[in-house]
Amino acid sequence: MPAFENDAMGYDTFPSQSDVGESGSQAAALARIFDEQRARSRSAAPAPWALRSDRLRRLRRLILEQRGALAQAISGDFGHRSRHETELLEINPLLDGIAHSLRHGQDWMRMQRRRPGPKFWPGAARLLPQPLGVVGVIVPWNYPLLLSLGPAQCALTAGNTVLIKVSDLSPRFGALLSRLLEQAFDTHELRLFNGDADFSRHFCRLPFDHLLFTGSPAVGRQVMRAASDNLTPVTLELGGKSPAIVDADADLEAAARRIVIGKTFNAGQTCVAPDYALVPRGRLDAFIGGARRAVERFYPALARGGDYTSIISAHHFSRLQRLVDDAVARGACAWPLSKAPHDAVRRLFPPIALSGLAPEAAALHEEIFGPVLPVLEVGDLDEAIAWINARPRPLALYLFARRQATIDRVLAHTVSGGVTVNDTFLHAGVDSLPFGGIGESGMGAYHGEEGFHTFSHAKPVFLRGRIGLLPWLYPPFGARAERLLRMPRHE
């Protein structure tokens, strides 16, 4: 099996955990805790709602009590990230998701009635949601709190136990959250591990009952191959190049402002960030002007960092600079959206737009995952749709338009993981909507009720009545069986 790729270069040493000291190695500790959780899940009755809701409340209490420390640890791993940005993009969505599960989880657990059909009268058909068992969650570095405890709370709502593996680029956060979870949860309920790419291999090879991975498509393929040895079902939350279409009748200033905020939150290090923009031909200068005004408005102290997040590592900083340099070398025009200088020491990468890109430019093929925005001019809506449909299906699509006919046309003629109309990001924060990709951008979904079902097995149950027609179908077959087999089908 090929080695797992690191999403970036970074830390060479990892904080120790109490479990590692007891068993001698992270891999041994992981195996021991997995075996304990698996044994519990196989021998104990499904957790009642009282226990599931208690786990969710403990998780919520941990977040509320430690929100400042968690934001500080995340900022330390990035080099700099505003506490308010962590509150807005991680802590608040996580608390909202837990509240949604507490409000609806008991209803999701209920056995569902299904119609069995006239041949099975007077029997009854039911669907019984049951926990899968032990769920594994593999977490990227860009939103380490939301993407670890978000899937975990869905799995806990469904009655599972959970093991979490965080990125080696989040060592401060990982060490803190590991310690906090050890204080709030028993080993057989929830545990978190730090580790490098080799440890990720050990993690993925365990026979989880479900494995959720968030990260790049390249690593997602490796995770899926590793999980296939145990026939472990997987949910892959990947990424890709999410487009933003600006229609000819759109409010261009508002569209530029909202695309900028989607591109600059977390310095663009977001799977659902708009990767590139498609704007009407002849409107490029106006769009760039609007984008510059938006950056100045949102980040007046960008040169000092302020509310603007650092790039996670020197490797990623260099990768972004390479994308810009490659595009310019091939004839593209670079449009700085801020007067702040690039600072490799602090990994401060101010937002920049690119226009006139050559078809071979790497920025048109690689997921950018940073504050670099290719802007492509298109003649009309059909050209924009054709451009999107000629490429892998994106995780998100953003459309800025006034006319309902335009909105309907784009929704009908494109396929993406999710859509927000006249803004960015927002569909991913609605707890009553599933979140997930399609094709190259992922498989499966979670959040809210869909998260509960992702981590549950809907077990079909048939309850036979004391009487009924079924004995007519026992041999030796006769006229009654013939009549039953020819019964009319009812819608």
Q: Which CATH superfamily is domain 243-436 in?
A: Aldehyde Dehydrogenase; Chain A, domain 2 (3.40.309.10)
Query: Per-residue pLDDT for 23 more than 60?
Result: no
**Residue closest to 337 by CA, chosen among 307, 299, 367:** 299
Q: CA 11, CA 169: separation in Å to the nearest integer?
A: 6
| Closest by CA position to 315, among listed 344, 342, 276, 353 | 344
CATH class of 18-238+445-456: alpha beta
CA 145 to chain centre: 12
SS3 12: coil
- What's the pLDDT score for residue 19? 41
Q: Quick one: pLDDT band at residue 291, thresholds 50, 70, 90?
A: very high
Report the chain's mean pLDDT, rounded to a whole number.
92
What is the reported pLDDT for 25? 80
Spacing of C-alpha 117 from chain mean position: 39
pLDDT-derived band at 26, boundaries 50, 70, 90: confident
Task: Average the pLDDT over 230-237 and give the result.
Answer: 97
Asked whether the predicted pLDDT for residue 313 surpasses 90, the reply is yes
Residue 323: is its pLDDT beyond 60?
yes
Residue 449 predicted with pLDDT over 70: yes
From the list 144, 146, 55, the residue with the least C-alpha distance to 93 is 146
Dist. CA 301–CA 135, nearest whole Å: 43
Phi, psi at 412, each rounded to 5°: -75, -30
Give the sheet arrangement for strand 372-378, strand by strand: 333-336, 352-355, 372-378, 276-280, 243-246, 396-400, 418-421
Beta bridge partners, 191, equal 163
pLDDT higher than threshold 50 for residue 17: no
So what's the pLDDT on residue 7? 45
pLDDT on residue 489? 64
- Give the pLDDT band (50/70/90) at residue 483: confident
pLDDT top residue among 488 and 302: 302
In the chain, % helix, strand, coil (3-state, to 5) comes to 45, 15, 35
More confident residue, 239 or 49: 49
Give the active site residue among 237, 367, 440, 449.
237
For residue 196, name the pLDDT band (cuts at 50, 70, 90): confident
Question: Where do the structural domains in the chain lie, given as residue ranges?
Answer: 18-238+445-456, 243-436
Q: From CA 164, how far away is CA 150, in angstroms rounded?
A: 11
- Cβ–Cβ < 8 Å for 251, 177: no
pLDDT, tens digit, for every residue of 352-397? 999 999 999 999 999 999 999 999 999 999 999 999 999 999 999 9
Antiparallel, parallel or unpaired: β 352-355 and 418-421 = unpaired
Q: What is the DSSP string of 351-396?
A: -EEEES--TT-GGGTS---SSEEEEEEESSHHHHHHHHHTSPPPSE
| Whole-angstrom distance, CA of residue 277 vs CA of residue 377 | 8
Evaluate whether 18-238+445-456 and 243-436 have a shared fold. Answer: no
**How confident is residue 18, by pLDDT bands cut at 50, 70 and 90?**
very low
- Tens digit of each residue's pLDDT (9 = 90 or more) over 127-170: 999 999 999 999 999 999 999 999 999 999 999 999 999 999 99
C-alpha distances out from residue 376 to 237, 410, 422, Å: 27, 18, 18
Catalytic-residue membership of 182: no
- Structure tokens given for 311: 């790039």
Cα 335–chain centre separation: 31
Q: What is the pLDDT of residue 6?
A: 41
Coil, helix or strand at residue 458: strand
Mean pLDDT of 56-73: 98
Check pLDDT > 70 for residue 1. Answer: no
Of residues 290 and 3, the one with the higher pLDDT is: 290
Least confident of 198-207, 254-263, 378-387: 198-207
Q: Hey, which bits of 181-310 come out as E strands?
A: 190-193, 210-214, 234-237, 243-246, 276-280
Of the chain, the percentage scoring pLDDT greater than 90 comes to: 84
Reduce the secondary structure of 168-205 to three states and give it as a string.
CCCHHHHHHHHHHHHHHCCCCCEEEECCCHHHHHHHHH
